Amino acid sequence: MHRERFYTLAGSCPDRVGIIARVSGFIAEHKGWILESSYHADDPESGASRYFMRIEVKAASLPFDIDEFRNRFLPVATELEMNWKLSDSAKKKRVVILVSKQEHCLYDLLARWQSKELDIEIPCVISNHDALRGFVEWHGIPFHHVPIGNDNKVAAFAEVMRLFDEAHGDTMVLARFMQILTPEVCATYPWRIINIHHSFLPSFVGAKPYHQAYQRGVKLIGATCHYVTADLDQGPIIEQDVIRIDHSDSVEDMVRYGKDIEKAVLARGLRYHLEDRVLTHGNKTVVFR
């Protein structure tokens, strides 16, 4: 990753001749210096093909700022019928972490944040338990305890949304947050909520997937980082990984192995998302690594 400031243009549009020429030509017209570019055209079994792209442009090479970039590119995007976004590497993304009692994913994210491996801002951590308050506040991060029960789910998640908006969050990360979000939360922040599920989806959705895997006698277990939708564990997949097990491994062994996979998969998936490397189309993703 280059350290100089750059703008990232990411988007998709109906496939047609001349897309690359039109977009790169626009950048060249303004003396823009392309640092990195990635492209992909899907080939659906039915329906129109769609084209995906991600381009990094050296900010100092352009004669205008990111707002002017947006204004000038808008006619091009309209012409191409493009869904697109433009981001600035100089602006750190604000990540709000939700967690319950299991701490391993939270520990890993805070370690990566503290070492600048994840160059983000964490304005707060929200939990339905108070157990991790001391650890979070030791890092100088505000901690919010929002109890969630069967009798207060709507009000509790309204408070979670209020805290997220108050923190000006860009992305909400469920770091083993063992609660099902309400449909309102999912609808309010589409493609902005990331979850780590402790199985290789679509296998073993829902609760206790390691127990399900043990009962099924599988030889591989895994973890899946995905976007959250109203359908439980069915959102577009961002990243996955697996580890091999055998007949001698207990459920406890599988849980222990799985924690290492969960941490790595969540960190990679979050990084891809924050760097605008993930483009969604229906319930699938294109990930430019």
What's the start-to-end Cα distance of the chain, in Å?
11
Quote the CA–CA distance of 92 and 74 in Å, as a whole number. 24
Strands 171-174 and 95-99: parallel
Residue spans per domain, the chain: 6-88, 95-287
Each residue's pLDDT tens digit in the chain (289 positions)? 557 999 999 999 999 999 999 999 999 999 999 999 999 998 766 567 999 999 999 999 999 999 999 999 999 999 999 999 999 999 999 999 999 999 999 999 999 999 999 999 999 999 999 999 999 999 999 999 999 999 999 999 999 999 999 999 999 999 999 999 999 999 999 999 999 999 998 888 888 899 999 999 999 999 999 999 999 889 999 999 999 999 999 999 999 999 999 999 999 999 999 999 999 999 999 999 9
Assess whether the region 6-88 and the region 95-287 belong to the same CATH fold: no
Task: For the full predicted model, state whether its pTM sits above 0.85.
Answer: yes
Please name the residue that has the structure tokens 């897309």. Answer: 19
Are 228 and 164 in contact by the 8 Å Cβ rule? The answer is no
Quote the CA–CA distance of 277 and 269 in Å, as a whole number. 10
Domain 6-88, CATH homologous superfamily name and number:
ACT domain (3.30.70.260)
Are 133 and 145 in contact by the 8 Å Cβ rule? The answer is yes
Q: Which of 108, 170, 233, 276 is catalytic?
A: 233
Tokens of 199: 């199985």
Residue 179: alpha-carbon gap to chain centroid: 18
Paired with 137 in beta bridges are none
Domain 95-287, CATH homologous superfamily name and number:
Formyl transferase, N-terminal domain (3.40.50.170)
Q: Is 233 a catalytic residue?
A: yes
